Amino acid sequence: MITLTHYLVLSAILFSIGLVGVMRRKNLLMLFFSTEILLNAVNVGFVAVGHYYGDLSGQMFAFFIIAVAASEIAVGLGLLILWYKKTGSTDLDTLNMMKG
């Protein structure tokens, strides 16, 4: 029997993986992947809790997050390509133009 706890544990594990990815990875593309994992970990949690309470708003929210994530990726990838064309690198540490 798969209970709510299982889903939440899965969600937490996914979230942790995403978090570690965000912190450790230096490649911008990998950062986007990590962000997607983070968002989807949260989605799993929403859907599971929404199902548990018999409330649709959790699942509604998951849809919103998917939509937001998609548009974020679209904008982010566009910027990433521009950056790559300009500098020939997708390393995070090269993005330091704002350093004072």
Partner 1 sequence: MEKYLYIALFAPIVGSLIAALFAQSPKNLFTGILTSGLIFVSFVSSMILLNYVDMDTIVHVEMMDWISAGNLSIPFGFVVDQVSVIMMVTVTLVSTIVHIYSIGYMEHDESFNRFFSWLSAFVFSMMILVMSDNFVGLFIGWEGVGLCSWGLIGFWYKKHSASWAANEAFIMNRIADLGMLMGLFLIYWNIGSLQYDIVFANIVNLDLDIVSWIGIFLFIGAMGKSAQFPLHTWLADAMEGPTPVSALIHAATMVTAGVYLVIRCGEIYALIPDVGMFIASLGAFVAVFAASMALVNRDLKRIIAYSTLSQLGYMFVAAGLGAYWIALFHLMTHAFFKSLLFLGAGNVMHAMDGELDIKKMGGLYKSMRPTAILMSIASVALAGIYPLAGFFSKDKILEVAFNDASYFLWGALFVGAGLTAFYSFRLVMLVFFGEKVHEKLGYHPHEAQPFVIYALTPLALLAIVAGFFEHSFHEFTTQLLADYEFTLDHSVALMLIFATSAIALSGIAFAVYNYKRGGFSEKIENWGVYKLLSNQYYIPKLYDVAIMKPFTALSRFAWLNIDNKIVDATVDMIARVIYGGGEKARKMQSGNLSSMLRWMVVGIVVLLALAIFYRPMV
Long-range pairs for 37-42 at CB < 8 Å and ≥24 separation?
38/14, 39/65, 39/68, 39/69, 40/14, 40/69, 41/11, 41/12, 41/13, 41/14, 41/15, 41/17, 42/11, 42/15
In the complex, the smallest distance separating the C-beta of residue 92 from partner 1, rounded to whole angstroms, is: 5
Closest to partner 1 by CB, 54 or 88: 88
> What residues make contact with partner 1 under the rule CB under 8 A?
19, 22-23, 26, 92-93, 95-96, 98-100
In the complex, the smallest distance separating the C-beta of residue 33 from partner 1, rounded to whole angstroms, is: 14
In the complex, the smallest distance separating the C-beta of residue 13 from partner 1, rounded to whole angstroms, is: 16
Closest to partner 1 by CB, 2 or 96: 96
